[in-house]
Amino acid sequence: MCDTCGCGQPDNFKVINLNDSETKQSYEHSHEHIHDGTSHSHTHTHSHSEDHSHEQAHQHNHEHGTQRVIQMQTDVLQKNNLSAERNRGYFEAKKIFSLNFVSSPGSGKTSLIEKTIKELNNEIKFFVIEGDQQTINDAKRIKAVGAPVVQINTGNGCHLDAEMVNRGIKELNPSDKSIVVIENVGNLICPSLFDLGESKRVVIISVTEGDDKPIKYPNMFQSSHLCIINKTDLLPYVDFNIEQTKKYALQVNHHLEFIELSVKTGQGIDHWYDWLKKQKNIL
């Protein structure tokens, strides 16, 4: 069954490598790959097992001789989390700094990545994984500014998962000490649940959106490390209160850092470059 809409079709996501002379497309059946690491399936087994154990025993104490209750206590996302940790280990071993960019559609993820590559390409080697439901448009934009890129089309999927990123990295083959940028599917809800193995998660919000986004979509702001407030050049024309947004976001996540910038005018973008270089040097 399809992993994304339950339509009964096999679940295919597409990994498209734009770096080969002939654009290669590979189709991935997610179910073939999520069985990795079964030997670790009990990592979390006993963490909360005492909570309701008596209730369980009574509920299931029927006289059927063969019926058995098995306490699983298994994290539903453990397979994704295991794949994410594999990615994280790969990045660490190669001293790669990796970013997971999340936002609603149209807040400027691709434009920011594009500009960053264009302006820092001489100092830092970038590799990009683009996630979109359909098309290779974003990957073409990244390729045009000179960074190796693979596009993952999730089909009906609303988020990237760690296994897709794992396949993407294998296609990309990023070099040591580089930065891998993963641009997630534009969606402020679903991607928050899926760890991809990134070093830092960056949420982008633009001033043309509502300033209460952080409390409307708390999961995303809670799981991010940095919040970029984009399109600040439009502030005179919109009713967006930056201080209010920050206040809301800090209620949800008091560790969150902020950078205000405009990709279009370049205003404030040096703060972003400084952050990026600082994070990379910490590795």
Task: Please tell me the distance from the alpha carbon of residue 203 to that of residue 206, in angstroms, as a whole number.
Answer: 10
Q: Smallest distance from the beta carbon of 184 to another protein, in angstroms?
A: 12
Tokens of 216: 């409307």
Tokens of 158: 């609303």
Q: Which residues contact 155 (CB under 8 A, 6 or more apart)?
A: 4, 11, 12, 13, 14, 133, 134
Tokens of 187: 């969606």
Question: 1, 144, 238, 283: which one contacts another protein (CB under 8 A)?
Answer: 1
Angle at 104 between CA 98 and CA 106, to 5 degrees: 100
Q: Smallest distance from the beta carbon of 251 to another protein, in angstroms?
A: 5
Place of tokens 């096999």: 10
Stretch that binds another protein, among 94-102, 228-236, 252-260, 262-270 (CB under 8 A): 252-260
Residues 13-32, one symbol each (x = binds another protein by CB under 8 A, - = not), give ------------------x-
Nearer to another protein (CB atom), residue 79 or residue 201:
79
Nearer to another protein (CB atom), residue 69 or residue 283:
69
Nearer to another protein (CB atom), residue 149 or residue 162:
162
Q: If binding is defined by CB under 8 A, does position 157 make contact with another protein?
A: yes
Nearer to another protein (CB atom), residue 49 or residue 265:
49
* Contact present, 240 and 276 (Cβ < 8 Å): no
Of residues 65-94, those binding another protein (CB under 8 A): 66-80
Q: 192: which DSSP letter?
A: G
Task: Please tell me the distance from the alpha carbon of residue 53 to that of residue 160, in angstroms, as a whole number.
Answer: 36
Residues 90-129, one symbol each (x = binds another protein by CB under 8 A, - = not), give ----------------------------------------
Tokens of 179: 């930065």
Stretch that binds another protein, among 37-45, 123-131, 133-141, 168-176 (CB under 8 A): 37-45
What torsion do the CA atoms of 111, 265, 192, 214 make, to the nearest 10 degrees? -150
* Contact present, 207 and 237 (Cβ < 8 Å): no
Q: Dmax of the chain from CA atoms? A: 74
Of residues 187-246, those binding another protein (CB under 8 A): 189-190, 192-194, 218-219, 222
Nearer to another protein (CB atom), residue 187 or residue 262:
187
Q: If binding is defined by CB under 8 A, does position 56 make contact with another protein?
A: yes
Residues forming the site for another protein (CB under 8 A): 1-6, 31, 34-35, 38, 41, 44, 48, 52, 56, 60, 64, 66-80, 157-159, 161, 189-190, 192-194, 218-219, 222, 251-254
